[in-house]
Amino acid sequence: MLSQTASSHSVTVGLVGQPNSGKSTLFNALTGLRQHIANYPGVTVEKKTGRLDRNGRRIELVDLPGTYGLSAFSPEERVVSQFLLQDGAQALVNVLDATQLRRGLMLTLQLLEMGLPLIAVLNMSDVAERNRQPVNPERLSAALGVPVVSTVGRRGRGVEPLTQALDDMLDGRVRIATRLPDYGPLEASLTKILEALPDGLRTRWLGLHLLEGESDARSLIGKYLSGEELERVLEVATGQRADFAQRQGISVADHIVGTRDRHALEIEAGCMPGGQPGRIPLSERVDRVVLNRWLAPVFLLATVYAIYHTAIVQGYELTHYTWPLLAGMRNLAAEWLPAAGFLYDPLTRSLALWLIDSVNTLLNYVPIFLILFALIAILEDSGYMARIAFILDRVLHRFGLHGQSTLPFVLGGVFAGGCAVPGVMATRAIPDPRARLATILTVPYMNCLAKVPLYTLLIGIFFVDHKGLMLFFIATITVMVALLVARLLTVSVLRPMETVPFVMEMPRYHLPTVRGVLRPAFDRTWLYIKKVGTIVLAVAVVIFVLLNLPGLSKDERAQFDQRAQVSLQTFHASIAGNPHAERFQDPGILLDALNLSSAYRARRMNLSTPEAIAALDARTEAAHPELFAYIRPGGGDRDVRGIQRALRQLDQERRTLRLEMQETRIVNSLLGRVGRALEPVTQAAGFDWKINVALLSSFAARESSVATLGVLFQQEEGGAQTLEQRMGAAMSHEHAALVALSLIVFFAIYPPCLATAIMVRIQTASTGWMLFSIIFPTVLGLLLASAVYTTGVRYQLDALTMMASFWTTALALLLIIGLWPRRRSTPPPRLAEDTGGA
């Protein structure tokens, strides 16, 4: 029947396995789809599907959440059991970790009891052989009665034999005769339960599930049975469960687990006759150092500092090469756009250059992100990311959070480069309601990818010699604040909620592969670039409109026009009597000369060698032979040099007028008025109206803060200075570094962006908690930023001293609260047994 269906219709195949079995890696190898993979249990929270076309047949492969069993204890287990019973899977591929065979078989036996055709996949077989614990696939196939294929998913080995075995099974060329555990005295009770169930639900697993008395059994069968039928089945299950416990002196659940474990042990012994289980795995030996009670925090902090120092310091050096390229593209675009007027530019030109400046400011940080993402991928691929979760779990419980809060924090950017949206979404895997809500409200404090450009900008201006130290400060201070806020929430409004224990598994260490590092690094960088090209551009358009409305008043425009006329009259008077003066009586030629001078100056600023300058001169002269002599520095006779001096003076007056005019327009704009209205509130933190405008624009998208600053601290027409250079020149007052520090503190705690706020609303199903996630961080961030700035100014402290004082104070408060004795409401977290090794 399966082969007939398979040959004429698409087939749904479920990919099932325990966490860290390599299931998602194998899914990518089979389908060619890309998916975030990390060595932390529960990365696959929702099922993911991919298409596999084989011999004219379409196979829909469903990557189900990693789960240790099919009970109803965790959301992952419920998702898998409901899918297998209700969503019409026609076959299963069960991925087993070859180094953890006995534990993996506990899930395999439950899947076999589902009654679906199944292929067992022995993944990581190379690691098992390296550990001198090889598994014989033929013997395992004979013991289970199903096909068994050996694979190495990380390297793509065994994928073709697996797809061929899947074809054979779907075409009916493989005879499957599953060998299931014999539950002895429970078999009679199981038979009675199966007789009470209708044909479509008559599976050994469901019968055993009902006998165990699992809480979700009613919901699993309720939709298929009428009220009377349901009550009759549950009555039979209750009676048989009580009768068995009375006769055998053991609960049904304990008997089932014990029987499966003994059966799995027998299978393992028969499939690993030559194994040497006494060897201590390499991963365990490494963990004795890395997870040592005293060394673990030191090693973790050193790792974080090394990541930031490498990514920021070395990555920032690369921006010296990328910026000239971006500036060159901007200048090229400026030449293709409608020409600039003496004072007023065409709208097309103004908007296009605004958008280019916004995008260029952010694209300049691509090298930093590429290095940062590669380093984070190394942590994930090696297995150390899960160790970070374990180390932090010891701290999280002290502050009312859960071990599974670590993954949302990592996705949100506990190092940097994450995103709060998937971080908030990942909290669905947390079974503890109190810790889940506390995690949702604190994930936005992490250093998401969008915050990094502003950090990098300010550090590149005011903390050039302390880049790594400042990024370390940012990374740790956000975690400190998040933990303190979580503790505040869990001892107040969230205190009545219940908590549950947490069990986690340590994956083996792996040597990172080049593909495993470069692919996620490029994928995440490309995601950033796409966001710059979509959301940031949209926000830039909105900001452009808000900064240009209502525009200059009639009187202001008249004043600027009058000053422009004076400058033009002065120019013509200065060249009166010059043989070349007649050429510049034409306003069009004069404007062309001024625009050419700006473009030439901008291009020449990015050149450093005489050869490059000579080539630029040759190209410019060939394109503009009649004007080049008047803008080329140091060329021509006395009359030409006279024209050059007059043009330079007029060009300088024109640039000054344009900058004053733009500043007047921005100050009087809608957004400028809001920024100025907020100055009485933000001046205690050292923020002026420009910073306020940048912060307001960043609510839609964090990257927009830097893009907005890039145009507020604008350069003159034809300039090629970086934003760091422009802001550094504008913010050169005595307390500028303190302003930068207070801005960093505020931005680190700033409310979630619009997308994250919407996700908070979805995950909490509460508008109140969404508003809280916006208002509370705003107030807290402003208070802390004001404390940093006013304290530094009052006591004449430099920014680094103030940073150290603030960090030390936060750490002391964290230690006092974290170490304060308290009664645990849940059992301490523990590690799942892991006998495998690298």
Binding-site residue set for Mg(2+): 28-29, 31-32
What's at 343, amino acid-wise? L
Closest to 40 (Cα-Cα) out of 56, 24, 54: 24
Query: In this structure, how many other beta carbons lie within 10 angstroms of the beta carbon of residue 609?
Result: 8
| Coil, strand or helix at 353 | helix
* Cβ-contact 114, 84 below 8 angstroms: yes
Spell out the residues 6+ positions from residue 400 whose beta carbon is closer than 8 angstroms to its own: 434, 435, 438, 486, 487, 489, 490, 491, 494
Radius of gyration of the chain (CA): 34
Strand 148-150 to strand 48-54: parallel, antiparallel, or no bridges (unpaired)?
A: unpaired
Strand 48-54 to strand 57-63: parallel, antiparallel, or no bridges (unpaired)?
A: antiparallel
CA atoms of 509 and 512, how far apart (whole Å): 9
What's at 618, amino acid-wise? A
Spell out a b/e string for 17-49, using b for 16 or more CB atoms within 10 Å of the CB, else e: bbbbbbbbbbbbbbbeeeeebbbbbbbbbeebe
Instruction: For the chain, give the number of residues.
Output: 838
Spell out the residues 6+ positions from residue 677 whose beta carbon is closer than 8 angstroms to its own: none
DSSP 511: P
- Exposed/middle/buried for 318, CB within 10 Å: 0-12, 13-18, 19+? middle
CA atoms of 421 and 443, how far apart (whole Å): 9
* Cβ-contact 391, 296 below 8 angstroms: yes
What's at 42, amino acid-wise? G
Distance separating the N- and C-terminal Cα atoms of the chain: 43
CA atoms of 445 and 342, how far apart (whole Å): 47
DSSP assignments along 536-571, one per residue = IHHHHHHHHHHHHSS---HHHHHHHHHHHHHHHHHH
Distance of CA 27 to the CA centre of its chain: 21
Asked, as a colleague might, if the bond just before 550 is cis with ω within 30 of 0, I would say yes
The owner of tokens 């009639």 is 554
Token duo for residue 345:
């530019």
- Exposed/middle/buried for 594, CB within 10 Å: 0-12, 13-18, 19+? buried
CA atoms of 186 and 240, how far apart (whole Å): 9
- Exposed/middle/buried for 311, CB within 10 Å: 0-12, 13-18, 19+? buried
Rounded alpha-carbon distances, angstroms, from residue 393 to 42, 336, 409, 483, 717: 15, 57, 12, 12, 54
CA atoms of 664 and 228, how far apart (whole Å): 79
List strands edge to edge, sheet with 118-123.
48-54, 57-63, 11-17, 91-97, 118-123, 148-150
CA atoms of 41 and 506, how far apart (whole Å): 9
The owner of tokens 């796409």 is 530
Token duo for residue 196:
């009470």
- Exposed/middle/buried for 199, CB within 10 Å: 0-12, 13-18, 19+? exposed
Token duo for residue 339:
């020409």
List binding-site positions for GTP: 17-24, 42-46, 63-66, 123-126
In this structure, what are the phi and psi dihedrals at residue 133, rounded to the nearest 5 degrees? -135, 55
CA atoms of 773 and 443, how far apart (whole Å): 10
CA atoms of 286 and 295, how far apart (whole Å): 12
